[in-house]
């Protein structure tokens, strides 16, 4: 299963990308996380239904210092998982 999440709130400048990478890595998910220009956080993750449910709960909680106002979720076609590797942060500098 492949899911796309868009997390809104205070999600940039609080270590959220590293938090997501750690949580997703512990669940052995494939995919990526990145900041958007609109101040949101975008996540694409591929894994089992149970593991993605755990990630969803982690995204709603967020790391210390964050504030999650809304999590928008979309299912993606399985073909979107092709090329996804170990979970990583995109656009980190």
Catalytically annotated residues: 17, 35
CB 32 within 8 A of CB 43: yes
Under 8 Å between Cβ of 3 and 71: no
Tell me the backbone φ, ψ of residue 2, rounded to 5 degrees. Answer: -125, 130
Tokens of 83: 């090329």
């Amino acid at each position: 299963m492949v899911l796309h999440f868009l997390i809104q709130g205070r999600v940039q400048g609080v270590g959220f990308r590293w938090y997501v990478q750690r949580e997703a890595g512990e669940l052995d998910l494939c995919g990526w996380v990145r900041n958007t220009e609109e101040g949101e956080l975008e996540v694409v993750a591929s894994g089992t239904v149970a593991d993605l449910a755990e990630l969803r709960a982690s995204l709603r909680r967020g790391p210390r210092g964050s504030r999650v106002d809304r999590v928008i979720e979309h299912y993606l076609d399985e073909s979107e998982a092709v090329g996804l590797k170990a979970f990583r942060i995109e656009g980190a500098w």
